[in-house]
Chain A
Amino acid sequence: MSTEPQSGTDLESGQAGSPPNPDKGDMVRKEATQGRAASMLIAPSIVVLTIVILYPVVSAVFQSFQKDAGLDSATGLFVAGGFAGIANYTHWILQQCTAGGVSVPCPPGTLGAQFWSSISTTFFFTVVTVILETAIGFGMAVIMARTFRGRGLLRASVLVPWAIPTAVTAKLWFFIFAFEGIANKMFGTSILWTGSENPARAGIIIADVWKTTPFMALLILAGLQIIPADVYEAAKVDGVTAWQRFRHITLPLVKPALLVAVLFRTLDALRMYDLPQIMTGGANNTTTLSILVVQEIRSGNFNSASALSTITFILIFLVALIFVKALGVNAVETTTVSGRGKAK
């Protein structure tokens, strides 16, 4: 097994596995028999994933179109629910609440009224953390790619924040940002970090950047390491400046790995839950979509919670789609790379 962290984006091995001059008829026959074996080997995993993912998703979508069972306030009779149309979706998107049988705009302070603010909070966190983590992660990766004594030590220390559970990270930074905590003491400030919007958001972003940048750095490092050193040497000999080398060699060559890293981080940040939930409980405009879904479940409104989780799911799916279409990220190919895969 290769221990070099290159497998993720190895361009070289793409050609390695392909037969030099494949006989077409033989290939087809081989593919047919291998296809049967492959489906037998893969089927169990697909079945398991279908049960644990597809079943809940389908039932959530089904439920999101259901009415709440309960007493009909107009007639005073018990109604069993039934088809609700898109009422659960308009509840969130148009902020329509039902009060006394009629639709009214959700009063401020209710969960229904928080939909758009939680969307903007989620996107705010996503954009800011992903930009910071990409920039800092790139810097870290460039340093880690250099050869110097103690490089192993550096890589080990970078893995520490990654290994710490997010829940623990949240508690740790909650303590660091306590009013009498070390952050205020170090900077001589007296900020009530979790007490108002901007400091609370800043605290969550700092904690997230601390926890996740190493992961980003390692992914980018893997991309950097596939760039052959002689390319740089040749450029140096030709008198190319450091900035030009970065701009015209490093960036284009590391781009596939970088884009995949950014895609993964973005999708991950969009479902952010642990840090804001533990550090602020969603107070002071730090309620993300995931937090809002959980709060809705906790208040017992499963149908509208299903609608909201479906919206979250669709949103993440759309972002992934935009990434793949607009930036041409080929996540499947870049991450699995492939011997045989590339040789069609």
Chain B
Amino acid sequence: MTTATATQDTEPGAHVNRKAHNRKRWESRRTYVFAALIAIWCLLPAYWMVVTAFRDVGFTYDATPFFSHVTLDNFRAAFSTDTGNHLARALVNSLIVGIITTFISLMFGIFASYALARLNFRAKYLVLGFILAASMFPGVALVTPLFQLFTDLNWIGTYQALIIPYISFALPLTIYILVSFFREMPWELEEAARIDGCTKSQAFRKIIMPLAAPGVFTTAVLAFITSWNEFLIASQLSNGQTQTVTVAIASFSGSQPHQEPYTAVMAAATIVTIPLVIMVLVFQKQIVAGLTAGAVK
């Protein structure tokens, strides 16, 4: 249509067209400049972390912008237990706590989200509001009473002392994300299966479960990441035995009492972060969908 009008017009039309074309090229160039700026701003600090992790401790403050004085010593130092750091144990702890928290949250969350997404009932918005309020709940308000309760029960230093408060944010998150995933699903297929003679539970297992799997998986990834990244509760309700990675990194100590072992910390930070970054990049699309659906960090 635009070409038709352009050919009908003689001189001025062509002129406008060229101008529009020029402006478009300008715009796309500007888009690239901004996109590059955003990418650099987001990646540069993370890049610096990795560069430092591979740099000889003697060159901690070296400002060379690319990999230089490369060594693996920092990774050895990060895992070494000589100065009282237990990174390997912390990784195992975070893994255990994260997996159990995610599993429990999914177990309860799947049923609740199915009901909230699919069924009509009066208290629906009340329940959704309650769950949203729960996900916004400040962790620090749990720490005081739980610290005392778990001290009395002798639970400080056990996994349940972390898993129980973690459920308080992982379960609402799970429900929120799953509700929006479930709402997008082609539920007509369930009814079609029923018409074809499936029972309700058969229809659920054979039709709905496979369809829901990607959404459930994304939710699991997000719940796991949130619990992996938690710091406040872990720092107060764990001890040396159950310390998670975030606590281990925050309290990482070097051989010199007043000297921050930056290179080793950056190595530890890289180890803690790389699995997450890989996971996020692989499941990028699903994670963005889940994040914006649940709209919860």
Contact = CB atoms under 8 A, between A and B. Distances in A.
B229 interface: yes
Interface string A148-159: 101111111111
A44 B232 CA distance: 27
B171 A8 contact: no
A302 B149 CA distance: 11
A8 B232 contact: no
A274 B172 contact: no
Interface in A56-84: 56-57, 59-60, 63
A131 interface: no
Nearest to A8: B292
B272 A219 contact: no
A297 B144 contact: yes
B67 interface: no
Given A293-B143, A302-B148, A309-B144, A320 B136 contact: yes
Contacts of B125: 332, 341
A316 B45 contact: no
A1 B211 contact: yes
Nearest to A306: B144
Given A163-B225, A305-B144, A312 B138 contact: yes
A4 B115 contact: no
A35 B121 contact: yes
Size range of the interface on B?
35 or more
Nearest to A315: B138
B8 interface: no
A290 B273 contact: no
Contact of A37 (B34, B115, B140): B115
A254 interface: no
A271 B138 contact: yes
Interface stretch (B10-18, B71-79, B180-188): B180-188
Interface in A237-289: 260-261, 264, 267-268, 270-271, 273-274, 277-278, 289
A219 B295 contact: yes
**What is the predominant secondary structure among interface residues of chain A facing chain B?**
helix
B134 A53 contact: yes
B42 A39 contact: no
Given A157-B42, A313-B141, A332-B132, A171 B269 contact: yes
A335 B139 CA distance: 22
Contacts of B280: 156, 159-160, 162-163
B9 interface: no
B101 to A, nearest CB: 11
Contact of A30 (B120, B185, B276): B120
B140 A293 contact: yes
A106 interface: no
Contacts of A309: 138, 140-141, 143-144
A153 B32 CA distance: 12
Interface in B31-53: 31-32, 34-35, 38-39, 41-43, 45-46, 48-49, 52
Interface string B258-297: 0010100110010011001101110011111101111111
Given A41-B114, A260-B295, A331-B132, A302 B176 contact: no
Interface string B206-217: 000001101100
Given A176-B48, A306-B145, A218 B249 contact: no
B175 interface: yes
B284 A53 contact: no
A168 B289 contact: no
B181 A175 contact: no
Nearest to B272: A168
Nearest to B263: A175
A31 interface: yes
Contact of A171 (B128, B176, B184, B265): B265
Contacts of A318: none
Given A165-B276, A168-B272, A154 B295 contact: no
Interface stretch (A91-99, A107-115, A178-186, A197-205): A178-186
Contacts of A56: 141-142, 144-146, 149, 165
Contacts of A59: 145, 149
B231 A166 contact: yes
A148 to B, nearest CB: 5
A268 B297 contact: yes
B109 A312 contact: no
A7 interface: yes
A309 B146 CA distance: 12
A163 B269 contact: no
Interface in A13-53: 13, 17, 27, 30-31, 34-35, 37-39, 41-42, 44-46, 48-49, 52-53
Nearest 10 A-B pairs (CB), nearest first? A167-B246, A222-B292, A41-B115, A35-B121, A165-B229, A45-B112, A180-B61, A38-B115, A271-B138, A34-B119
Given A1-B212, A168-B249, A171-B265, 19 more contacts: A7-B183, A8-B180, A31-B120, A41-B115, A44-B111, A52-B142, A140-B38, A148-B32, A172-B48, A178-B260, A221-B292, A264-B297, A267-B136, A270-B138, A277-B231, A278-B231, A297-B143, A302-B148, A336-B183
Interface of B: 28, 31-32, 34-35, 38-39, 41-43, 45-46, 48-49, 52, 60-61, 63, 108-109, 111-112, 114-122, 124-125, 127-134, 136-149, 164-165, 167-168, 171-172, 175-176, 179-181, 183-185, 211-212, 214-215, 225, 228-229, 231-232, 235-236, 245-247, 249-250, 252, 260, 262, 265-266, 269, 272-273, 276-277, 279-281, 284-289, 291-297
23 contacts: A7-B289, A42-B127, A44-B112, A46-B127, A52-B168, A53-B137, A148-B32, A152-B284, A162-B280, A165-B245, A167-B249, A212-B297, A218-B291, A264-B295, A271-B140, A273-B232, A274-B231, A277-B232, A290-B140, A294-B235, A297-B143, A320-B133, A339-B183
